[in-house]
Amino acid sequence: MRQPLLITDPKDLPKGDVALVPTMGALHEGHLSLVREARRHASHVVVSIFVNPTQFAPGEDYEQYPRTLEADVEKLSQVGADVVFAPSARTMYPSKTQVTIDPGPLAEILEGASRPTHFAGVCQIVAKLFNMVRPTVAVFGQKDAQQLAIIRHMVTDLSYPIEIICAPIVREENGLALSSRNTYLNQDERAQAVMLSRALFEGAKSDTPAQQVAITSQILQEAGIEPEYVEVVTTDGFDVLSEESKPVMQDVTLLVAARIGSTRLIDNVTIRRQ
């Protein structure tokens, strides 16, 4: 595979049939799977790498977030990315922001309850990338399920002519969902983090949302993990169903967030009813 073109100026971005894969770098196989999916949908694939300050709250890991641009570009050369767009903070935020995006009520629950400013920052940077790159398609991962739902709402509500593609979660052999933040985990914490996916998979075997939440929560607590939340939502609309005591005849997603040591991780599994 050829080396992708590394650019920092949006004026140099390709035009026409473009698929965008937005990332914050520190790329792993999960990100690379998004690029492979993007190749199926457009002639040119642009991968953005930008650690976006507006989606981090004070005290979160913005300064510590891994930045590995040279290694990222090398990885992207193996999966067919055409362009790496790695703008500076000054390029993306040339002055104090006056106009922002309200991500709506979906941003106030689950991840939004724990990180109240997070999704406003996500929408701000994704909207900027959409306006600069002008893709026909954008690919996001299922691991950030709530983000995906909010981006889809933003695209619909603001009439972006962009198709949003969801790519499945990529896991290690032991089931741990790939995440750039996994690099923060020590050996013992990694062993404990595996219980997130094991609890989800076991909970997903139950028939009702209430049972799915109860079993997942119990397994986590037995493993010494106190989750921030365990919830079931409709996969399409992200409506919370966690207290439903009867089987739901539509696809649902079972989600979890928890701290393993000092590292906050999220994971989910979709339970298909069709």
Query: pLDDT tens-digit profile of 99-112?
Result: 999 999 999 999 99
Q: Is 178 annotated as a binding residue?
A: yes
132 in a labelled binding site: no
% residues pLDDT > 70 (the chain)? 99
Do residues 194 and 229 make contact, with C-beta atoms less than 8 angstroms apart? no
- For the segment(s) 5-167, the CATH number from 3.30.430.20, 1.10.579.10, 3.20.20.70, 3.40.50.620 is 3.40.50.620
Residues 127/154, Cβ–Cβ less than 8 Å: yes
Residue by residue, what is the 3-state secondary structure of 57-92?
CCCCCCCCCCCCHHHHHHHHCCCCCCEEECCCHHHH
Q: What is the mean pLDDT of the chain?
A: 96
142 is in an annotated binding site: yes
Mean pLDDT to the nearest integer, 65-79:
96
Confidence of residue 81 (pLDDT cuts 50, 70, 90): very high
Nearest to residue 81, comparing CAs of 186, 189, 2, 10? Answer: 2
Active site amino acids? 31
pLDDT at site 2: 80
pLDDT band at 273 (very low <50, low <70, confident <90, very high): confident
Give the architecture-level CATH label for domain 180-271.
2-Layer Sandwich (3.30)
* Residue 52, pLDDT above cutoff 70: yes
Q: Is 141 annotated as a binding residue?
A: yes
CB atoms within 10 A of CB 156: 10
Q: Compute the Cα dihedral for 188, 146, 88, 60 and give only its sign.
A: negative
Locus of tokens 């959409």: 130
> Hey, is 140 helix, strand or coil?
strand
pLDDT in tens, 121-168: 999 999 999 999 999 999 999 999 999 999 999 999 999 999 999 999
Share of the chain above pLDDT 90, in %: 98
pLDDT in tens, 199-235: 999 999 999 999 999 999 999 999 999 999 999 999 9
Mean pLDDT over 178-198 rounds to: 97
Domain boundaries, the chain: 5-167, 180-271
Q: Is position 179 annotated in a ligand binding site?
A: yes
Q: Is the pTM of this model over 0.85?
A: yes
Q: Is 221 labelled a binding residue?
A: no
Question: Residue 256, annotated ligand binder?
Answer: no
Residue 1: is its pLDDT beyond 80?
no
- Does the pLDDT value for residue 73 go beyond 90? yes
